[in-house]
Structure formats: structure tokens, C-alpha cells
């Protein structure tokens, strides 16, 4: 960061008074520019045991399969973000969203959150950011073509938990040494 988004003057990196971390601080108006993790929210849409996946029409990972998810916007809740992204990417409506997986990805300053939810109906289609959307049985999942490790981990948890019918909320940290875009985790 070179310039303040409040007044346009130069910023410098320093530890503000009362803080313990380096921050960008405006040399003119003294605004502290905090840089915080980005939250990605999405759903695991389910219909009779099959899961709805979207094939990405945008980078990163264009052409790879993912759960409908995206960046949380200001002034919305996690659940609202997940439902909005599901509607935008898969033109799908879901009901009874339940918090399911949370992934801390410190090396890229992101948190990924997925809600398990039932498709409200089978009226879904590719949104602007998707090439296609499709329901998959467990045996049909394109494991080698999944876009992100958090999607693979969520799917693996779902298929394992489905055996017992118990779906605990899971929170995992993806270690820095793990490849960011592995397909089959």
C-alpha cells in the first residue's frame, strides 16, 4: 500500500501507538489501514445424497469444480453470504443451512466457511461465474478436478459423516506447507 484511501497522501509501515503489529499508517491524517483476512462463504447443496457442484468460469482455477462460494460482502452475515453466493453461482435456492466446515488458511489470509443445506428444488443452472452446475453422486465426484482443498475436505467430511448421520461442525487449519490447490486431499 502506498497511498491513504481516506486522503490520498503517502502511507508508511509502522507500529501504531497501542498496537503490536506493523500497519500502514497515513503520514498526513494518521488513519491506520488494517489488513484483515478475507472470508469465503458457501454451501454444500444436497439433494437425496447427491451434491451440487459448479464448474468455475473465472480464475482462479477456471474450469475446475467447486462448491458455490465466494467472498463475504460488507453488511451481510455468513449465512446471507453463503446463500447469496449459491444463488449467484448456481441459481439455486437452499433451505435449512447448517454451519458445517470452517477452514483457516493463514498463509493466504483467508477463512473458508461452508453450510450444509438441502436444495429447495431442482431449478438450478449456471450463474455468471459458472460454466455448468451438476448434481454428483459420491462415486462421480471429479476429485482430480476440484478447484480448492477446502472443497475436497468438505466433500470428504460429508461422505464420511453421511455414514453415521452425524454432521459435526468441523474447524481445521490448512498448514502452510500443504499445496494450496491440491485436488484430492
CA-closest candidate to residue 66, choices 48, 49, 42: 42
Residues 18, 70, single domain; the answer is: no
What pLDDT sits at residue 44? 98
Residues 30, 43, single domain; the answer is: no
pLDDT > 80? residue 92: yes
Three-state SS for 44-99 is EEEECCEEEEEEECCCCCCCCEECCEEECCCCCCHHHHHHHHHHHHHCCCEEEEEE
Burial class (CB in 10 A: 0-12, 13-18, 19+), 81: buried
Binned at pLDDT 50, 70 and 90, residue 176 comes out as low
Binned at pLDDT 50, 70 and 90, residue 184 comes out as very low
Residue 156 placed within a domain: yes
Residues 22, 47, single domain; the answer is: no
Binned at pLDDT 50, 70 and 90, residue 174 comes out as confident
- ∠ CA(126), CA(71), CA(104), 5° rounding? 120
- Per-residue pLDDT tens digits for 33-50: 988 889 999 999 999 999
Residue 119 placed within a domain: yes
Binned at pLDDT 50, 70 and 90, residue 181 comes out as very low
Residues 105, 27, single domain; the answer is: no
pLDDT > 70? residue 179: no
Residues 11, 51, single domain; the answer is: no
Residue 182 placed within a domain: no
Residues 42, 30, single domain; the answer is: no
What pLDDT sits at residue 34? 87
User: Domain limits at 29?
Assistant: 1-35
Question: For residues 105 and 119, what is the distance between their CA atoms, to the nearest angstrom?
Answer: 28
Residue with cell 466433500: 155
Mean pLDDT value of segment 148-154: 96
Binned at pLDDT 50, 70 and 90, residue 183 comes out as very low
Amino acid at each position: 500500500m502506498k497511498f491513504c484511501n481516506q486522503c490520498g497522501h503517502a502511507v508508511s509501515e509502522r507500529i501504531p501507538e497501542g498496537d503490536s503489529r506493523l500497519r500502514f499508517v497515513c503520514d498526513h491524517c494518521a488513519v491506520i489501514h488494517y489488513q484483515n483476512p478475507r472470508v469465503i462463504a458457501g454451501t454444500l447443496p444436497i439433494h437425496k445424497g447427491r451434491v451440487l457442484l459448479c464448474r468455475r468460469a473465472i480464475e482462479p482455477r477456471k474450469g475446475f469444480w467447486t462448491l458455490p462460494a465466494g467472498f463475504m460482502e460488507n453488511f451481510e452475515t455468513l449465512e446471507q453470504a453463503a446463500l447469496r453466493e449459491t444463488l449467484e453461482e448456481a441459481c439455486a435456492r437452499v433451505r435449512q443451512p447448517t454451519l458445517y466446515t470452517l477452514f483457516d488458511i493463514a498463509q493466504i489470509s483467508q477463512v473458508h466457511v461452508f453450510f450444509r443445506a438441502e436444495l429447495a428444488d431442482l431449478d438450478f443452472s449456471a450463474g455468471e461465474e459458472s460454466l455448468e452446475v451438476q448434481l454428483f453422486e459420491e462415486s462421480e465426484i471429479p476429485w482430480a478436478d476440484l478447484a480448492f482443498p477446502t472443497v475436497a475436505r468438505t466433500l470428504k467430511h460429508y461422505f464420511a459423516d453421511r455414514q453415521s448421520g452425524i454432521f459435526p461442525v468441523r474447524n481445521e487449519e490448512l498448514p502452510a506447507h500443504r499445496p494450496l490447490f491440491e485436488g484430492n486431499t
